[in-house]
Structure 1
């Protein structure tokens, strides 16, 4: 998902089209309708069996008011754009919003722990450090602030060009960020010692520090992917041209040991890359292998989110048209296609199961069993689209951020628990 501003939600790829369906297949006048009603036996209209499939007004109202959440955090006064859990304890959540504020709050009871103020624009990124001792918040304008969680004080700030992504190092007090001028920044916190990884003037749209902590993979607006050596500051591999994407990268993820990276793009294609060799070793699409090219980019089905399963050789790719595709990593064959009625915003695999969760523009959180392709459960409660979500380690809780100005905590129940 691209940066969000105001009340306008913009996805990669085509604009969402809302189709209005006329329930009458043909134009019917009053006389035609009267003729159709002549054969209706009104005396049997009270038969319960004939009402099967219809909902009463009370049932429809109950469905509209259904809220499966355990807790609602409602301090934001604008769209809630991002949410994360602290990695050390999973007891704190941080949410960033259109109101230019990030809030840290306790998941168990919603108690406010820290207000991160002073931003100039919507807070689109908020991340805890690996040990949860620090929190970084970044806004659309490029202002980044770092806070010490325990003392609730701001300990560092820096301003860059418009922010595209931000991430903490997995085991060191080091923060990385990519900007729309093509630079990738790396700072030691709180000293502020800085290193930049420069590339041609092209937005660095997505990035990920690999688990070894020595390399990072960055995707760019021109479809290029670079594997950077963080110590030396040079690009180890540059994947471009036909090997790269034919449009801007939207997302990327790595497997558990960092040997493979999966990238997604507005060209409707996901690519599997070996980070050691820099070679593309797999290509995934839902249209029979036809990836979007420069000429048909407007018609391509943008990839919105990707991820690796930790316990099975499977990957998941979420598309703008609402398709969640599960692929076999070894054969690259599509195993299941899980269809949503609206565009998928984000997917996340559970750490120790074959269940993958999705959040959607229809405001629902859904859990899918990748082994069977069937939906395990569905959670409702938001009055607008879910823009971000995260799971705790045990996958017993999900925290969501929505365009309805709220964040919610859902207790995830499954038959196997």
Structure 2
């Protein structure tokens, strides 16, 4: 018989006791699946409730059996994604698909550390530490070819921006290049004295830029495999390069290093033309905005910094709880996504530096990020063995707009009334607008009331470039880059300074917003 005042099965001091069969009044079956795990019991709050981990992902891919390091989104199919990981496997899979796996990228015998689609989406390449690159046809789901180097592992691979050429950086200090159409090696680029850690083709496809653990940057001619420029030593990085990015005009490289530094290099001259000082830890990721003259960098100092490349200054700093491992601009918008050691994916407004959204879901370090072709999804991979898809469609329209400008720019006329007010100049604007040589519709235009000339300041990339036309029949001619819109707008609004071309009186500055068909004006007297 159990002791009075005690729960059957428990002694006075907590030791285990036994009960007699005759003491049992009734037996009740218990489904063990309904019982909380002991770990969950230990983690319960004072109210006895079990805390469930948040998951903001719209879809999770879980075919990998070990840590995932690589991710890529098809440039032509918004639902198609490739991933690679420590389980020596890669996968081609579809977002939201019940089946998930479209194709297993088999054949590797070591970690698949890099995956990439060709620019037309027809091919997918997977690279591994086993020293092998496999190329797959995405339409037929078949192996197109296998490329091997010296046997040393590959760190990364990139496709030519328009063709089916592949370059890959290796632990053997070399860069390798193959033709995927003909399954042929084209060139080996020798010169680095340590692992080639990062690199890419210039956007025009004419040159190759690579960075190495030897703290040097090399600019190569892909036809001859010879270095055009070697950047190293005084004024450059003092430790290995970790990542690099190239501006859309193929003129500038932004490189990052373990030594906390960010350097700006002119591709044509091979000269270091600036440095961006602000990080206090190793740099892990870099990305140049496709729309603005800005670059984002992230590092182990728990910072994502948005820089103005023209001024070589910080626009804003986005602080994280832990180190930043990866980043990706959300298309042409002003938003940038970051992946972090704390497992979070965050969306940042590059104008204000504020966190617009934080996505939970991963249980461990986010290793890499990619954005889907339609811009609706950010796909992330983690050491928690999962790839997750987050809906970012609400940020697609985050491109520069009237709302982003100072309030001094206010809508004062609808398009017809504005056209009437400056009829001769806007007639020239309207007649020239469809010409191929004219920039985008979203343009800041300077209209002289004398109608002797029309100036257009391109606004679509959030930077002002001056174009002139003396006669309505002329095409536009680009004069020069003048700066970014917020700075110029502030100058107009507060009268602190004026452009040299704005010294005349009675000049109207107008911003045409196509979606609202409004003209925004400010007049300088």
Cα distance in structure 1, aligned partners of 2:334 and 2:74: 23
1:347 aligned partner: 327
User: Per-residue displacement from partner, 1:317-349 (whole Å, max 9, x unpaired)?
Assistant: 111121111222122122211111111111111
2:22 aligned partner: none
Residue from 156, 160, 170 that aligns with 2:161: 170
Cα distance in structure 2, aligned partners of 1:179 and 1:392: 28
Relative distance call for 1:57 and 1:198 in structure 2 (3 A) is: farther
1:203 aligned partner: 195
SS in 2 for 1:267: coil
Residue from 49, 59, 65 that aligns with 2:53: 65
Instruction: Confirm whether residue 268 of structure 1 aligns to residue 260 of structure 2.
Output: yes
Instruction: Confirm whether residue 145 of structure 1 aligns to residue 125 of structure 2.
Output: no
The unaligned stretches of length 5 or more in structure 1 are: 1-54, 288-299
1:383 aligned partner: 363
1:397 aligned partner: 377
Cα distance in structure 1, aligned partners of 2:292 and 2:205: 24
Residue from 196, 220, 224 that aligns with 2:212: 220
Instruction: Confirm whether residue 277 of structure 1 aligns to residue 269 of structure 2.
Output: yes
Cα distance in structure 2, aligned partners of 1:56 and 1:176: 53
2:392 aligned partner: 412
Structure with higher Rg: it is: 2
Instruction: Confirm whether residue 89 of structure 1 aligns to residue 77 of structure 2.
Output: yes
1:302 aligned partner: 282
SS in 2 for 1:105: strand
**Contact kept in structure 1, 2:330 and 2:396, CA below 8 Å:** no
Cα distance in structure 2, aligned partners of 1:416 and 1:236: 39
After superposition, the CA RMSD in angstroms is 2.0
Relative distance call for 1:150 and 1:311 in structure 2 (3 A) is: closer
1:183 aligned partner: 174
How far off is 1:393 after superposition? Answer: 3.9
How far off is 1:91 after superposition? Answer: 2.1
How far off is 1:90 after superposition? Answer: 2.4
**Contact kept in structure 2, 1:376 and 1:414, CA below 8 Å:** no
Cα distance in structure 2, aligned partners of 1:339 and 1:240: 31
Instruction: Confirm whether residue 237 of structure 1 aligns to residue 229 of structure 2.
Output: yes
User: Per-residue displacement from partner, 1:160-206 (whole Å, max 9, x unpaired)?
Assistant: 21212111111111111011121111001142322111114321111
SS in 2 for 1:205: strand
**Contact kept in structure 2, 1:182 and 1:201, CA below 8 Å:** yes
How far off is 1:243 after superposition? Answer: 3.5
Residue from 60, 63, 67 that aligns with 1:75: 63
2:501 aligned partner: none
1:314 aligned partner: 294
Relative distance call for 1:176 and 1:152 in structure 2 (3 A) is: same
Which structure 2 residues correspond to residues 125-136 of structure 1 after superposition, within 5 A?
Answer: 125-136=114-125
The structure, 1 or 2, with the larger RCO (C-alpha pairs under 8 Å, 6+ apart) is: 1
Relative distance call for 1:138 and 1:58 in structure 2 (3 A) is: farther
Cα distance in structure 1, aligned partners of 2:46 and 2:209: 53
Relative distance call for 1:244 and 1:324 in structure 2 (3 A) is: same
How far off is 1:372 after superposition? Answer: 0.6
Cα distance in structure 1, aligned partners of 2:50 and 2:291: 41
Q: How many residues align?
A: 350
How far off is 1:258 after superposition? Answer: 1.6
Cα distance in structure 2, aligned partners of 1:95 and 1:57: 41
Instruction: Confirm whether residue 121 of structure 1 aligns to residue 110 of structure 2.
Output: yes
Cα distance in structure 1, aligned partners of 2:50 and 2:390: 21
SS in 2 for 1:182: coil
The unaligned stretches of length 5 or more in structure 2 are: 1-43, 398-525
Cα distance in structure 2, aligned partners of 1:214 and 1:405: 38
Cα distance in structure 1, aligned partners of 2:375 and 2:137: 27
How far off is 1:277 after superposition? Answer: 1.5
TM norm structure 2: 0.64
**Contact kept in structure 1, 2:333 and 2:395, CA below 8 Å:** no
How far off is 1:108 after superposition? Answer: 3.2
Cα distance in structure 2, aligned partners of 1:155 and 1:330: 43
SS in 1 for 2:259: coil
**Contact kept in structure 2, 1:225 and 1:244, CA below 8 Å:** no
SS in 1 for 2:143: strand
Cα distance in structure 2, aligned partners of 1:78 and 1:416: 33
User: Per-residue displacement from partner, 1:369-402 (whole Å, max 9, x unpaired)?
Assistant: 1111111101001111111111124432111111
